[in-house]
């Protein structure tokens, strides 16, 4: 195998995985990872981890929360409480794109 082919095969995308919302409109961090939403993709685990740390350390402002809640209501869905929105961020995880847990069973 040529070196450039081996390099191409070694590249793995890292996803910021966001936990789903249960029927009770609360974060379901115990759901199977295949049910989680793929957020942003990153070229490395470190980039993903850094982005997640930044999101946790800099939570959304009240104005950002109100805008998100308004968009959610406009989509005919029930917005999360601010505490559940914060929990959803802190429960998010960085996962390699080739992680077998991402495949539905």
Residue pLDDT, tens place only, 35-90: 999 999 999 999 999 999 999 999 999 999 999 999 999 999 999 999 999 999 99
pTM (predicted TM-score): 0.82
Q: Give residues with Cβ within 8 angstroms of 28, minimum separation 6.
A: 19, 20, 21, 22, 35
């Amino acid at each position: 195998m040529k070196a450039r082919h081996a390099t191409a095969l070694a590249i793995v995308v890292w996803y910021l995985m966001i936990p789903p919302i249960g029927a009770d409109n609360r974060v379901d961090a115990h759901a199977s990872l295949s049910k989680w939403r793929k957020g942003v993709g990153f070229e490395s685990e470190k980039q993903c981890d850094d982005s997640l740390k930044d999101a946790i350390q800099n939570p959304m402002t009240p104005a950002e929360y109100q805008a998100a809640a308004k968009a959610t209501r406009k989509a005919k869905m029930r917005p999360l409480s601010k505490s559940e929105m914060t929990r959803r961020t802190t429960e998010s995880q960085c996962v390699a794109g080739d992680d077998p847990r991402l495949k539905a069973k």
